[in-house]
Amino acid sequence: MFLKEKQIKQLIKIGSVRIEPFDADLQLQNSYIDLRLSDRFYRFPQDLQPEIQILDPENPYFNILEKDYISDKGIVLEPGGFYIFETMEYISMPENISIYLQPKLRLSKIGLNLLNAGMIGHGFEGNLILCIHNVNSYPVRVFKNMPIVHMFLSKSEL
């Protein structure tokens, strides 16, 4: 069962849940918190070396990711493109709180698919990593600081 706005506010007030930066008036809804894109993102290079013909989780392929920044004009996500974003918010959850991520509907409607939606384990701390695929046949522009995902909190008994 997801926590309601009042319960989330109380956990933030007592410092059990930390979200920085955080603006409750803009981000806290009935039962979720909107998280925003940071200015950092990663993508695989367009021209992979010929010896890299397949990405294999057993190999350290993440060191070939290119780090880039979103300008004030945003970034265009090409059709079929795969991108890795970080949330602007640094979050810290206690051991009895898990997170559930759901993409914002308006972004799903224009073809942005959040590949790692779902549960994040108890006690998570850090910036969330979002793997986004543009499944639309049109380019889609995104901006830093734009709300990208709903974060629901669930409390378990220890």
List the structure tokens of 100: 């559930």
Structure tokens at 9: 């506010």
Q: Is residue 101 assigned to a domain?
A: yes
Provide the CATH number for the domain around residue 106.
2.70.40.10
Q: How many domains does the chain have?
A: 1
Buried b or exposed e, range 115-127, using 16+ CB within 10 angstroms:
eeeeebebeeeee
Q: Give burial (CB, 10 Å; 0-12/13-18/19+) of 32.
A: buried
The whole domain housing 17 covers 5-45+62-155
pLDDT tens digits along 29-78: 999 999 999 999 988 777 665 555 666 667 665 567 888 899 999 999 99
Q: What are the pLDDT digits (tens) for 104-141?
A: 999 999 999 999 888 888 899 999 999 999 999 999 99
In a domain, 29, yes or no: yes
Residue 89, domain member (yes or no): yes
b/e for 87-99, b at 16 or more Cβ within 10 A?
bbbbbebbeebbb
Q: Residue 38 domain-assigned?
A: yes
Q: What is the pLDDT of residue 41?
A: 93
Residue 147: name the closest of 65, 46, 32 by CA.
32
